[in-house]
Protein backbone atom coordinates (compact mmCIF):
# COMPACT_ATOMS: atom_id res chain seq x y z
CA UNK A 1 0.00 0.00 0.00
CA UNK A 2 2.85 2.36 0.85
CA UNK A 3 4.51 1.66 -2.50
CA UNK A 4 1.22 2.35 -4.29
CA UNK A 5 0.75 5.67 -2.47
CA UNK A 6 4.38 6.57 -3.14
CA UNK A 7 3.84 5.88 -6.83
CA UNK A 8 0.75 8.10 -6.89
CA UNK A 9 2.63 10.86 -5.07
CA UNK A 10 5.52 10.60 -7.53
CA UNK A 11 3.20 10.91 -10.54
CA UNK A 12 1.33 13.83 -8.97
CA UNK A 13 4.65 15.59 -8.34
CA UNK A 14 5.79 15.00 -11.95
CA UNK A 15 2.48 16.23 -13.37
CA UNK A 16 2.56 19.27 -11.08
CA UNK A 17 6.05 20.09 -12.34
CA UNK A 18 4.98 19.65 -15.97
CA UNK A 19 1.94 21.85 -15.33
CA UNK A 20 4.16 24.66 -14.05
CA UNK A 21 6.63 24.34 -16.94
CA UNK A 22 4.01 24.28 -19.69
CA UNK A 23 1.92 27.01 -18.07
CA UNK A 24 4.98 29.28 -18.05
CA UNK A 25 5.73 28.42 -21.70
CA UNK A 26 2.10 29.03 -22.69
CA UNK A 27 2.11 32.35 -20.82
CA UNK A 28 5.24 33.42 -22.69
CA UNK A 29 3.55 32.39 -25.94
CA UNK A 30 -0.05 33.59 -25.45
CA UNK A 31 -0.01 35.91 -22.47
CA UNK A 32 -2.68 35.92 -19.75
CA UNK A 33 -5.08 33.88 -21.88
CA UNK A 34 -2.90 30.85 -21.16
CA UNK A 35 -3.74 31.09 -17.44
CA UNK A 36 -7.46 30.58 -18.06
CA UNK A 37 -8.54 26.95 -17.73
CA UNK A 38 -12.23 26.72 -18.75
CA UNK A 39 -14.43 23.93 -17.40
CA UNK A 40 -13.95 21.79 -20.53
CA UNK A 41 -10.15 21.97 -20.18
CA UNK A 42 -10.32 21.08 -16.49
CA UNK A 43 -12.52 18.08 -17.34
CA UNK A 44 -10.04 16.91 -19.99
CA UNK A 45 -7.17 17.23 -17.53
CA UNK A 46 -9.03 15.18 -14.89
CA UNK A 47 -9.93 12.48 -17.43
CA UNK A 48 -6.36 12.26 -18.69
CA UNK A 49 -5.00 12.01 -15.14
CA UNK A 50 -7.39 9.16 -14.31
CA UNK A 51 -6.40 7.35 -17.50
CA UNK A 52 -2.75 7.64 -16.46
CA UNK A 53 -3.53 6.12 -13.07
CA UNK A 54 -5.74 3.24 -14.10
CA UNK A 55 -5.60 2.25 -17.75
CA UNK A 56 -2.88 3.99 -19.72
CA UNK A 57 0.52 2.39 -20.21
CA UNK A 58 2.11 5.79 -20.67
CA UNK A 59 4.29 7.13 -17.89
CA UNK A 60 5.38 4.70 -15.17
CA UNK A 61 3.47 1.69 -16.52
CA UNK A 62 4.92 2.34 -19.97
CA UNK A 63 8.36 1.87 -18.42
CA UNK A 64 7.20 -1.25 -16.58
CA UNK A 65 6.40 -2.86 -19.95
CA UNK A 66 9.95 -2.52 -21.23
CA UNK A 67 11.51 -5.44 -19.34
CA UNK A 68 8.87 -8.10 -20.16
CA UNK A 69 8.76 -7.02 -23.81
CA UNK A 70 12.56 -7.24 -24.02
CA UNK A 71 12.40 -10.76 -22.56
CA UNK A 72 9.71 -11.64 -25.11
CA UNK A 73 11.93 -10.34 -27.90
CA UNK A 74 14.78 -12.59 -26.74
CA UNK A 75 12.40 -15.55 -26.36
CA UNK A 76 11.34 -15.17 -29.99
CA UNK A 77 14.98 -15.57 -31.02
CA UNK A 78 14.96 -12.41 -33.13
CA UNK A 79 18.29 -10.94 -34.34
CA UNK A 80 20.21 -8.56 -32.10
CA UNK A 81 23.07 -6.28 -33.10
CA UNK A 82 26.19 -6.92 -31.02
CA UNK A 83 26.24 -4.27 -28.28
CA UNK A 84 30.01 -3.96 -28.76
CA UNK A 85 29.32 -2.34 -32.14
CA UNK A 86 28.33 0.82 -30.24
CA UNK A 87 31.39 0.98 -27.98
CA UNK A 88 33.18 3.64 -30.01
CA UNK A 89 30.03 5.58 -30.93
CA UNK A 90 29.30 8.78 -28.96
CA UNK A 91 26.20 8.51 -26.75
CA UNK A 92 24.42 11.35 -28.56
CA UNK A 93 24.91 9.67 -31.96
CA UNK A 94 23.77 6.34 -30.53
CA UNK A 95 20.61 7.90 -29.09
CA UNK A 96 19.88 9.74 -32.34
CA UNK A 97 20.25 6.54 -34.38
CA UNK A 98 17.88 4.71 -32.02
CA UNK A 99 15.29 7.51 -32.19
CA UNK A 100 15.42 7.62 -36.02
CA UNK A 101 14.91 3.86 -36.33
CA UNK A 102 12.18 3.92 -33.69
CA UNK A 103 10.34 6.86 -35.25
CA UNK A 104 10.47 5.26 -38.70
CA UNK A 105 8.89 2.10 -37.27
CA UNK A 106 6.38 4.07 -35.22
CA UNK A 107 5.38 6.10 -38.29
CA UNK A 108 4.05 2.91 -39.91
CA UNK A 109 2.55 1.63 -36.65
CA UNK A 110 0.77 4.98 -36.31
CA UNK A 111 -0.60 4.68 -39.83
CA UNK A 112 -1.91 1.20 -39.03
CA UNK A 113 -3.63 2.60 -35.93
CA UNK A 114 -5.61 4.85 -38.27
CA UNK A 115 -7.07 1.88 -40.18
CA UNK A 116 -10.66 0.85 -39.49
CA UNK A 117 -10.00 -2.16 -37.25
CA UNK A 118 -7.39 -0.51 -35.00
CA UNK A 119 -8.85 2.99 -35.07
CA UNK A 120 -11.23 2.53 -32.06
CA UNK A 121 -8.21 2.00 -29.77
CA UNK A 122 -6.37 5.01 -31.16
CA UNK A 123 -9.51 7.15 -31.31
CA UNK A 124 -9.39 7.49 -27.52
CA UNK A 125 -6.16 9.47 -27.86
CA UNK A 126 -7.73 11.64 -30.56
CA UNK A 127 -10.93 12.26 -28.60
CA UNK A 128 -9.58 15.07 -26.41
CA UNK A 129 -11.53 18.22 -27.36
CA UNK A 130 -9.05 20.36 -25.39
CA UNK A 131 -5.63 19.29 -26.65
CA UNK A 132 -2.99 20.18 -24.05
CA UNK A 133 0.21 18.73 -22.60
CA UNK A 134 -1.67 16.08 -20.59
CA UNK A 135 -3.37 14.80 -23.75
CA UNK A 136 -0.42 12.52 -24.45
CA UNK A 137 -1.54 10.57 -21.39
CA UNK A 138 -4.91 9.87 -22.99
CA UNK A 139 -3.96 6.56 -24.55
CA UNK A 140 -5.97 3.34 -24.38
CA UNK A 141 -3.99 0.39 -23.00
CA UNK A 142 -4.77 -1.73 -26.08
CA UNK A 143 -2.82 0.62 -28.35
CA UNK A 144 -0.10 1.44 -25.85
CA UNK A 145 1.02 -2.19 -25.77
CA UNK A 146 1.67 -1.89 -29.52
CA UNK A 147 3.53 1.42 -29.18
CA UNK A 148 5.69 0.21 -26.29
CA UNK A 149 6.42 -2.96 -28.26
CA UNK A 150 7.57 -0.87 -31.21
CA UNK A 151 10.08 0.98 -29.00
CA UNK A 152 11.39 -2.16 -27.32
CA UNK A 153 11.66 -4.26 -30.48
CA UNK A 154 13.49 -1.64 -32.52
CA UNK A 155 15.84 -0.82 -29.63
CA UNK A 156 16.43 -4.52 -28.84
CA UNK A 157 17.28 -5.20 -32.48
CA UNK A 158 19.90 -2.45 -32.24
CA UNK A 159 21.48 -4.09 -29.18
CA UNK A 160 20.41 -1.53 -26.57
CA UNK A 161 20.35 -2.37 -22.86
CA UNK A 162 17.18 -2.05 -20.76
CA UNK A 163 18.32 1.15 -19.05
CA UNK A 164 19.10 2.70 -22.44
CA UNK A 165 15.66 1.78 -23.77
CA UNK A 166 14.08 3.29 -20.64
CA UNK A 167 16.10 6.47 -21.24
CA UNK A 168 14.79 6.68 -24.80
CA UNK A 169 11.26 6.21 -23.46
CA UNK A 170 11.74 9.16 -21.11
CA UNK A 171 13.07 11.37 -23.92
CA UNK A 172 10.12 10.43 -26.10
CA UNK A 173 7.69 11.02 -23.24
CA UNK A 174 8.93 14.53 -22.51
CA UNK A 175 8.83 15.39 -26.20
CA UNK A 176 5.29 14.04 -26.51
CA UNK A 177 4.09 16.17 -23.59
CA UNK A 178 5.67 19.14 -25.37
CA UNK A 179 4.10 18.53 -28.81
CA UNK A 180 0.64 18.06 -27.29
CA UNK A 181 0.91 21.33 -25.35
CA UNK A 182 -1.14 24.38 -26.24
CA UNK A 183 1.74 26.16 -27.94
CA UNK A 184 1.53 27.41 -31.51
CA UNK A 185 5.23 26.90 -32.20
CA UNK A 186 6.46 25.54 -35.54
CA UNK A 187 10.26 25.67 -34.88
CA UNK A 188 10.87 28.12 -37.74
CA UNK A 189 13.72 27.00 -40.01
CA UNK A 190 13.89 23.76 -38.01
CA UNK A 191 10.21 22.86 -38.63
CA UNK A 192 11.22 19.88 -40.76
CA UNK A 193 13.89 18.73 -38.32
CA UNK A 194 11.78 17.86 -35.29
CA UNK A 195 8.03 17.63 -34.69
CA UNK A 196 6.57 20.83 -33.21
CA UNK A 197 3.36 21.50 -31.26
CA UNK A 198 1.85 23.20 -34.31
CA UNK A 199 2.67 20.25 -36.58
CA UNK A 200 1.17 17.71 -34.17
CA UNK A 201 -1.91 19.81 -33.39
CA UNK A 202 -2.82 19.52 -37.07
CA UNK A 203 -2.68 15.74 -36.67
CA UNK A 204 -5.38 16.07 -33.99
CA UNK A 205 -7.41 18.66 -35.91
CA UNK A 206 -11.01 17.71 -36.58
CA UNK A 207 -10.98 19.07 -40.14
CA UNK A 208 -11.12 16.92 -43.28
CA UNK A 209 -7.95 18.36 -44.82
CA UNK A 210 -5.87 17.21 -41.83
CA UNK A 211 -7.22 13.67 -41.55
CA UNK A 212 -4.53 10.97 -41.75
CA UNK A 213 -1.69 13.50 -41.83
CA UNK A 214 1.44 14.09 -39.72
CA UNK A 215 2.04 10.56 -38.42
CA UNK A 216 5.67 11.13 -37.39
CA UNK A 217 6.21 11.45 -33.64
CA UNK A 218 9.70 12.98 -33.71
CA UNK A 219 10.99 13.56 -37.27
CA UNK A 220 8.63 15.21 -39.81
CA UNK A 221 10.88 14.08 -42.66
CA UNK A 222 9.02 10.75 -42.72
CA UNK A 223 5.77 12.56 -43.52
CA UNK A 224 7.60 14.47 -46.24
CA UNK A 225 8.94 11.21 -47.67
CA UNK A 226 5.60 9.39 -47.70
CA UNK A 227 3.23 12.20 -48.66
CA UNK A 228 1.44 12.74 -45.37
CA UNK A 229 2.89 16.13 -44.37
CA UNK A 230 0.38 18.88 -43.55
CA UNK A 231 1.14 22.17 -41.82
CA UNK A 232 -0.58 25.18 -43.41
CA UNK A 233 0.15 27.46 -40.44
CA UNK A 234 -1.32 28.34 -37.06
CA UNK A 235 -3.40 25.60 -35.49
CA UNK A 236 -3.98 27.04 -32.01
CA UNK A 237 -7.68 27.73 -32.67
CA UNK A 238 -8.39 24.61 -34.72
CA UNK A 239 -10.96 22.26 -33.19
CA UNK A 240 -9.57 18.94 -32.01
CA UNK A 241 -11.33 15.66 -31.33
CA UNK A 242 -13.14 13.15 -33.54
CA UNK A 243 -16.47 13.19 -35.34
CA UNK A 244 -18.24 10.95 -32.81
CA UNK A 245 -16.42 12.12 -29.71
CA UNK A 246 -17.21 9.89 -26.71
CA UNK A 247 -18.12 11.60 -23.46
CA UNK A 248 -15.09 13.21 -21.85
CA UNK A 249 -14.94 10.95 -18.82
CA UNK A 250 -12.76 8.07 -17.66
CA UNK A 251 -15.24 5.19 -17.87
CA UNK A 252 -16.62 6.09 -21.30
CA UNK A 253 -13.12 6.51 -22.71
CA UNK A 254 -12.02 3.13 -21.34
CA UNK A 255 -15.03 1.28 -22.77
CA UNK A 256 -15.15 3.12 -26.11
CA UNK A 257 -12.94 0.75 -28.21
CA UNK A 258 -14.76 -2.35 -26.98
CA UNK A 259 -18.13 -0.78 -27.81
CA UNK A 260 -16.94 0.09 -31.31
CA UNK A 261 -15.46 -3.37 -31.94
CA UNK A 262 -18.73 -4.95 -30.79
CA UNK A 263 -20.60 -2.75 -33.29
CA UNK A 264 -18.22 -3.89 -36.05
CA UNK A 265 -18.80 -7.56 -35.20
CA UNK A 266 -22.57 -7.08 -35.18
CA UNK A 267 -22.43 -5.30 -38.53
CA UNK A 268 -20.28 -8.07 -40.02
CA UNK A 269 -22.64 -10.74 -38.69
CA UNK A 270 -25.65 -8.94 -40.13
CA UNK A 271 -23.93 -8.58 -43.51
CA UNK A 272 -23.12 -12.32 -43.54
CA UNK A 273 -26.72 -13.17 -42.71
CA UNK A 274 -27.99 -11.00 -45.55
CA UNK A 275 -25.45 -12.55 -47.94
CA UNK A 276 -26.54 -16.05 -46.91
CA UNK A 277 -30.18 -15.21 -47.48
CA UNK A 278 -29.56 -14.29 -51.11
pLDDT reported for residue 8: 53
Q: Distance from CA of residue 204 to its chain's centroid?
A: 11
Closest CA to 142 of 264, 262, 256: 256
- Range list of β-strands (E), the chain: none
Cα–Cα distance for residue pair 93/234, rounded to 1 Å: 33
Of the pLDDT bands very low, low, confident and very high (cuts 50, 70, 90), residue 62 is: low
Of the pLDDT bands very low, low, confident and very high (cuts 50, 70, 90), residue 225 is: very high
Q: Could you tell me which residue, 49 or 96, shows the higher pLDDT?
A: 96
pLDDT higher than 90, residue 233: yes
Q: Could you tell me which residue, 11 or 103, shows the higher pLDDT?
A: 103
What are the pLDDT digits (tens) for 74-130?
A: 777 777 777 777 888 888 888 888 888 889 988 999 999 999 899 999 999 999 888
CB 149 within 8 A of CB 158: no
pLDDT reported for residue 18: 67
What are the pLDDT digits (tens) for 138-197?
A: 888 888 777 777 777 777 777 777 677 777 778 888 899 899 998 899 999 999 999 999
CB 215 within 8 A of CB 229: no
Mean per-residue pLDDT over the chain, rounded: 81
Residue boundaries of the structural domains of the chain:
39-271
Amino acid sequence: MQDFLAGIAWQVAVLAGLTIVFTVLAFLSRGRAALHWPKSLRQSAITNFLIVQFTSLNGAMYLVLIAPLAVFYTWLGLPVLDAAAWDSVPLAVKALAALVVYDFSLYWVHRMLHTSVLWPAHAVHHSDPELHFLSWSRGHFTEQVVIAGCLVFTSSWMGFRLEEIAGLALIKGLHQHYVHSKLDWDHGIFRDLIVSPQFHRWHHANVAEAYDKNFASIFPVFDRMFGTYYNPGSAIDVQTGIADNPANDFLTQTLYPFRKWAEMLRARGKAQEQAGAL
